[in-house]
Structure 1
Amino acid sequence: MSSPLWPYITPGIPDDLFERLPGIPMSKREVRLLLISYLRLQPDCIVWDIGAGTGTIAVETGLLCPQGRIIAVERDGEVANLIRTNCDRFGVTNVDVIEGNAPDCLHGLKNLPHRVCLEGGKAIKDILVTVWQYLQPQGRIVATASNLETLYLISEGFAQLQVRNVEVVQSSINRLESRGRSQSLVAIDPMFILSGEKIS
């Protein structure tokens, strides 16, 4: 699938091409590239994007999985509409937006995931444990943490669930930005990215 707004086969859509709402978090392009690489997508993947926010992951994975289905879960109705707006903006038609609180809203979803992207949240361990029940064998899960408390909860969950082939990285990214008449390298907030597999 391709989009007139992003007519490339590579991920990494610039942040400023997405519609945004004040105060709504967005996975920055460079972090998004890492997340997507750890998802290890295939064209027909079913992806659950939980805590979808602005919808950047949903849009990018939707473009990369043209025969697949993306389930974007977001609890806030206004933010869910923002995801729909961004999908329309890029012509992505294989994303279903689910409004509700995870993990409760995950029960009864018909499309069981091959891949799960889980971004932050207070109930992240409960969500992780619930998602694991639905993740298909040989499926992959990628979770992010912006602080040590969330990192601990995800790590504890991975150990409890016996997630295999676990990888953990922390992003350290700087962008060149204009500040008045000069240009400076400005740091993007570091992010822990944890990934692993469900063998059976």
Structure 2
Amino acid sequence: MLWQYKTPGIPDKLFERLPGIPLSKREVRILIISSLRMKPDSVLWDIGAGTGTIPVEIGLLCPEGKIVAVERDNEVAGLIERNCDRFGVKNVKVIQGSAPECLEEIQPQPDLVCIEGGKPIEDILKQTWKYLKPEGRIVATVNNLENLYIISKGLSELQARNIEVVQSAVNRLETRGIHQTFAAVNPMFILSGEKL
């Protein structure tokens, strides 16, 4: 078994990767998972699931939950499935399709939505909000000020409650030559809000 612990934080190197496909770094994943506030039997939609790190971690933490990983690229959707198999995760359904167009066909409705990518991000936010159950929670990650503004404005217009914004600032110890130094992990903004 690759990850025998009941805590999040699987090392990045344990996931299969494809060149150019983003991977939410371990420390950022921990913040995302914390922001999601998953219950044991929650339904999570992960939009723009990329490598599948969030579905794998949540699948291991909440084996009674249901996770739908949405990814537009067929090859990347296959990568998510391989990473789920790699960690023995059985409760993830991978949907190959483009959000927001493919969302109307997904069942069941989500208690939680995680938006990790996709364009246009404003449309994805508004469409996923329509499907989100009352008292549901949405979490979005962005890495630039333009999308930070779009998601902040969108959550406000949707009248989300308990809005939170966190910016990660993580440094990792790395060996470079004969020296050890700290290298920054790309900062991310993690936004969350709840539906009335």
TM-score range, shorter chain: over 0.9
Q: 2:150 aligns with which of 139, 153, 168?
A: 153
Alignment of 1:27-176 (within 5 A): 27-176=24-173
Report the residue type matching 1:45 in the other structure: S
Q: Which runs of 5+ in 2 are unaligned?
A: none
Alignment check: 8 A CA contact 2:47 2:118 kept: no
Q: Unaligned 5+ residue runs, structure 1?
A: none
% same residue: 67
CA distance in 2 between counterparts of 1:80 and 1:8 reads 26
Give the AA of the match of 1:149. E
Partner of 2:195: 198
TM-score (norm 2): 0.98
Q: TM-score, normalised by structure 1?
A: 0.96
Q: Would the aligned equivalents of 1:120 and 1:150 in 2 still touch at CA under 8 Å?
A: no
After TM superposition, where is structure 1 displaced by more than 4 Å over at least 4 residues in a row?
A: none
Task: Show the counterpart of 1:14.
Answer: 11
Q: CA deviation at 1:184?
A: 0.7
Q: Is the 8 A contact 1:59 1:87 kept in 2?
A: yes
Contact in 1 for aligned 2:40/2:63 (Cα 8 Å): yes
Using the TM superposition, give the Cα deviation of residue 121 of structure 1 relative to its aligned residue in structure 2, in angstroms: 2.8
Provide the aligned C-alpha RMSD in A.
0.7
SS at match of 1:67: coil
